[in-house]
Amino acid sequence: MKRCKGCGTEKPLAEFYKDSTSRDGVRGKCKTCLLTATREYRKTEKGRQAAILATRKYQSTDRGKLVLDAYKKSQDRWLAIRRYWKTENYKMRNRVYARVRKALMTGKLIRQACEICGDPNSQAHHTDYSKPLDITWLCRIHHLAEHGRAAHAA
């Protein structure tokens, strides 16, 4: 038996919803009080919005339109990135990267530390892809920074 915090009557535990976070394993209010409180909450503006979002019918609300617009913009952005990576420039880059990998494996090229900070985990940076073995060795942070500068300069 347990006393309901809503109506104050003592009822058997079967009249309460389960709650694994509480000490006795059931909610504080009985099922009828909880259903009544839920109905009252859904009559409020905040409750109506929560019910709409919970049932996934949010496409018709203003927030839903904003979410869908943001998704479409993101989708357009990623499609543009995919188109870019499929260009001829990308194919040329892959050929250059393959030549660098082969040169590293055969010993023609030796991986150096980052030219700025000295980090031994460095990456090959090409300033000109027409010269595949003319490389500047940079750590990931400085490599990303270099590409950031190149993007802002263009």
Q: Phi then psi for 104, rounded to 5 degrees?
A: -65, -40
**Does residue 25 belong to any structural domain of this protein?**
yes
Among 18-27, 52-61, 91-100, 113-122, the least confident range: 52-61
**Does residue 76 belong to any structural domain of this protein?**
no
**Does residue 130 belong to any structural domain of this protein?**
yes
**Does residue 117 belong to any structural domain of this protein?**
yes
**Does residue 38 belong to any structural domain of this protein?**
yes
Confidence check: pLDDT of 81 > 80: no
**Does residue 74 belong to any structural domain of this protein?**
no
pLDDT mean over 38-61: 73
Helix, strand or coil for residue 125?
Answer: strand
Cα–Cα dist 144/132, whole Å: 19
**Does residue 93 belong to any structural domain of this protein?**
yes
Q: Where does 24-61 have alpha helices with state H?
A: 31-43, 45-54
Cα–Cα dist 109/85, whole Å: 27
Tell me the residue range of the domain where 114 lies: 88-153
Higher-confidence residue of 77 and 115: namely 115
User: Can you say how many angstroms the Cα of residue 98 is from the centroid of all Cα atoms in its chain?
Assistant: 31
**Does residue 129 belong to any structural domain of this protein?**
yes
Tokens at 65, concatenated? 């339109």
Task: Judge if 38 and 95 occupy the same domain.
Answer: no
Cα–Cα dist 53/42, whole Å: 12
Predicted TM-score (pTM) of the model is 0.42
Q: How many domains does the chain have?
A: 2
